[in-house]
Amino acid sequence: TTMPIRNTTERWGHLSIALHWITVLLILSLVVVGFVMQELPNTPMKRDVYALHKSFGLTVLFLTALRLGWRWFQPTPALPATMPAWQRWAARGGHLGLYALLVLIPASGWTYNWASNFTTPYFGWTLMDKAGAVDAALKANAKLAHEWGVYALLALLVAHAGAAFYHHYQLKDRVLHRMAPWFKPVA
């Protein structure tokens, strides 16, 4: 049976699954590059790596807006009826936290860049001009939000993936299979 592009109350559709996994790949790549790029020598390559980090970070922001818009107009697959109330609360809170961080982290990076008086690049285009001057306080706060947001996101991602694997291997339900159809339900 083919999977529909739209969500149903039983499963995620192709678009939701694609946006989820593209975001996962971008986030993991951005985190690795984000930690490594600070140590690069000051060369044109470092400038290019930073520009790409900013462009892909803004792509995450745009994809998150698209995901939230799509999710607003689509049904969400129901959680298993056997899930205790605290797990339902944790799942909803975790998803809310993930979405909030997928907005906060790129937005704070964008703010940090602007407060540092750099243009905002987007794959070779200038998305936004320089601020005109450095705003040291805004720059420091945006940097803190960006860095701590990443640590919070990594913690939530570990919990999110852990919960998905718990559902798959311990509870043997279809929760993981709905977002990762290549994981066949365990007998």
Confidence band for 187, pLDDT divided at 50, 70 and 90:
confident
Residue 171 CA from chain centroid, whole number: 26
Q: What are phi and psi of 15, to 5 degrees?
A: -65, -45
Judge contact between 7 and 16, C-beta under 8 A: yes
Per-residue DSSP letter, 129:
-
Q: For the chain, what is the radius of gyration of the CA atoms?
A: 19
pLDDT at 186: 80
For the chain, percent of residues with pLDDT exceeding 70: 99
| Mean pLDDT, residues 31-46 | 97
pLDDT (tens digit per residue) in 56-113? 999 999 999 999 999 999 999 999 999 999 999 999 999 999 999 999 999 999 999 9
Average pLDDT, the chain: 96
Of the chain, the percentage scoring pLDDT greater than 90 comes to 96
3-state helix, strand, coil in the chain (%, to 5): 65, 5, 30
Quote the tokens at residue 52. 């790409």
Contact by Cβ (8 Å): 143, 112: yes
What pTM was computed for the model? 0.93
List the one residue out of 74, 88, 85 whose CA is nearest residue 17.
Answer: 74
Residue 1 banded pLDDT, cuts 50, 70, 90? low
Q: What is the mean pLDDT of residues 14-26?
A: 97
Question: Residues 153-160: what's their mean pLDDT?
Answer: 98
26 has a pLDDT exceeding 70: yes
Could you give the C-alpha distances from 127 to 51, 58, 101, 109, 110, in angstroms and in order? 12, 10, 22, 14, 10
Q: In the Cβ-directed half-sphere of 70, how many Cα atoms lie within 13 Å?
A: 19
- Copy the structure tokens of residue 129: 């001009």
Cα-flanking dihedrals φ and ψ of residue 120, to 5°?
Answer: -100, 110
